[in-house]
Amino acid sequence: METFGRYQLVRRLAVGGMAELYLARQVGPEGFEKQLVVKRILPQLAGNQDFVAMFLDEARIAARLAHPNVVQVFDFGEAQGSPYLVMEYLQGEDLRKIWRQAQALRLPIPQALTCRIASEVCAGLDHAHKQTDPSGRPLGIIHRDVSPQNILVSYDGAVKLVDFGIAKAADTAVVTRSGVLKGKYAYMSPEQAAGRPLDHRTDVFALGVVVYELLTGARLFKRDSDRATLAAVAACEVEPPSAREPRVPADLSALVMRALERDPTQRYQEARAFGEALEGWLHAHHLPAASTHLTAYLRHLFPEPLAIAPTPTAPPPPPTAPVLTGTATGAWPVRGLALAAALGALLALGLALAAWRL
């Protein structure tokens, strides 16, 4: 186990183009122990001032955000010549993995739960979009990378937006170079794909793409090449979700299509407005979409998740009773499920599974 500053790195969870994520442990006196996630810049990029400045921008933006639907950042520092962020440890899965598992099991994400997840993301985005400096001046924070990979759902039903690594704020140190696109092409807005100036409505469009794909089970703009994908985004020729998947109600389809308007002035003007529209649809149809229903659905998709236990200092004694085991799922492991919680989740599952047929 590697010691990194004040933290012990248990194992690497993921690696990207700029940084790597580690499951980490902070140990203190009297048996204090807390599991966290350490994000540190890749060693080969630690000397690149542009990448370091981007990483520092992420830290500055993340430090301002304190919301239940945004992954919390606890610490920032430098160790062994590498800047790092320390974030909360979320036990669950990212939405991309949830979607893939749902497709593999032929159990589509219920429409009501899709709306619940998107509504929670809207709340997190609205919080970020409306941040101001001490004088009250809007900071103009834009995520710019809203995608299934950056939406995390915990096994207790919490939904959190993560990774402001390429987010933009008015007071960030790095200005995106002209002609340099940042973000996942298939989830860009037309104005982002064209390299035009952006505002918070680009995040509304990106979330609209996510919702469209979850409802229809098909990619919207993804093509065989990056060039073709960007061309599809620029054209923004979108078939209504209800036309592509007949089970999508027309009134829900209309809500999604408004988020996907090519002209930003025709979209929801705030993430909150999109969230309120989705909440209104849930209320009008009396659909089960509480966190308990989301928990039950995830437990059905991932029935045997197992938390990573602390590294023992000596070989453990043989068990005296049967022990439930399983494999850790994804980069965000989950604690073993107690029998009572499992029974409660199964009861809620009936409601959650019924919703996807509507």
Kindly indicate the confidence band of residue 165, based on its pLDDT and cuts at 50, 70 and 90: low
pLDDT > 70? residue 316: no
188-203 average pLDDT score: 94
As its CATH architecture, domain 92-285 has Orthogonal Bundle (1.10)
What single string gives the DSSP state of each residue in 190-227?
HHHHTT----THHHHHHHHHHHHHHHHSS-SS--SSHH
pLDDT digits over 92-117, tens only?
Answer: 999 999 999 999 999 999 999 999 99
Q: Which of 145, 203, 224, 263 is an active site residue? A: 145
pLDDT > 70? residue 276: yes
pLDDT > 90? residue 177: no
pLDDT > 90? residue 47: no
* Mean pLDDT value across the chain: 83
Domain boundaries, the chain: 2-88, 92-285
133 is catalytic: no
Closest CA to 2 of 22, 31, 30: 22
Kindly indicate the confidence band of residue 145, based on its pLDDT and cuts at 50, 70 and 90: very high
pLDDT at site 50: 81
pLDDT > 80? residue 182: no
CA separation for the pair 85, 109 (Å, rounded): 32
CA separation for the pair 94, 109 (Å, rounded): 13
Between 308 and 234, the more confident residue is 234
Superfamily of domain 2-88: Phosphorylase Kinase; domain 1 (3.30.200.20)
Lowest-pLDDT range of 31-40, 243-252, 311-320: 311-320
**Residue 209: partners with Cβ closer than 8 Å, 6 or more residues away:** 186, 187, 220, 221, 260
207-222 average pLDDT score: 97
Between 345 and 247, the more confident residue is 247
Q: How many CB atoms lie within 10 A of CB 81?
A: 9
